Amino acid sequence: MLIFLWAESQGRVIGLHGGLPWHLPADMHYFKTVTTGHTIVAGSKTFASFPRPLPNRKNIVVSHQPATAFPENVSVLHSLPAVRAYAAARPQEKIFVVGGAQLFAGLLDDVDFLYRTRIDAGFDGDTWMPVIDYSQFTLIDQQPGIRNEKNPYDFVFEQYQRH
C-alpha cells in the first residue's frame, strides 16, 4: 500500500531551500515512529536533505541518476511506473512516499492513505504540496500535536484513507 507522509503549513507550503521551513521535533519524532520498520520512497532532492539514509527502514530513492550515485544501502528506482510496480508487487507492505512535491504530484492517483501533519502557521516556502481532492478520502484519525517551547505551533496529525 502507498502512503503519503508529509507536513504542510498554511497554503500547502512544504519546503524551502531544499529543506523544511520549520523546526518541529514532534513531527520528526512522529515520522520516525510511523516509518520505522517499513519502506520510505523519496525523490532525490528530498533524499539529499537527509544527513544519511534513514536507519531501520528500507530506503528507496527515485532518480534518473544511476544507482552508483547513491549510497550502497539505498535502492534506486528510475521512474514512477517502477514505483507503482514495486508497490503493486508488495500489497501488504507499508510504503511511505515521503516527498517531495514532484513525487507527491506524480503518485497522487495511486496513493491509498494520506498521513498529513497540518501546521497551523504561515511560513515562506518554495515547494508546495499539490492540490488534493480530499472528497476522495475519509479522515480516519486525527491527533492534536502538543504545542510547547520546542514545538511552538499548533499542529495536528491526520490520517486519511481513500474510499
Ligand X SMILES: NC(=O)c1ccc[n+]([C@@H]2O[C@H](COP(=O)([O-])OP(=O)(O)OC[C@H]3O[C@@H](n4cnc5c(N)ncnc54)[C@H](OP(=O)(O)O)[C@@H]3O)[C@@H](O)[C@H]2O)c1
Pick one of 15, 70, 96, 159: the residue that binds ligand X (CB under 6 A): 15
Beta bridge partners of 115: 5, 159
Pick one of 2, 3, 4, 14: the residue that binds ligand X (CB under 6 A): 14
Pick one of 60, 95, 101, 111: the residue that binds ligand X (CB under 6 A): 101
Between CA 153 and CA 162 the distance in angstroms is 28
Q: Between residues 31 and 137, which has the closer beta carbon with respect to ligand X? A: 31
Grid coordinates of 35: 516509518
Q: Between residues 82 and 139, which has the closer beta carbon with respect to ligand X? A: 82
Interface positions, 34-63, toward ligand X (CB under 6 A): 43-46, 49, 62-63
Q: Is the peptide bond before 100 cis (omega within 30 degrees of 0)?
A: yes
| Shortest Å, Cβ 86 to ligand X | 13
Q: Should residue 119 be labelled a site residue for ligand X when binding is judged by CB under 6 A?
A: no
Pick one of 10, 11, 18, 142: the residue that binds ligand X (CB under 6 A): 18
Instruction: Produce one character per residue of 109-132: b if its CB has 16 or more CB atoms within 10 Å, e if not.
Output: eebbbbbbbebeeebebebbbeeb
Please check whether residue 132 is in contact with residue 20, taking contact to mean a CB–CB distance below 8 angstroms. no
Q: Between residues 7 and 137, which has the closer beta carbon with respect to ligand X? A: 7
Between CA 156 and CA 138 the distance in angstroms is 16
| Shortest Å, Cβ 147 to ligand X | 18
Beta bridge partners of 62: 43, 77
Contact residues for ligand X, defined by CB under 6 A: 6-7, 14-15, 18-20, 43-46, 49, 62-65, 78-80, 98-103, 106, 127
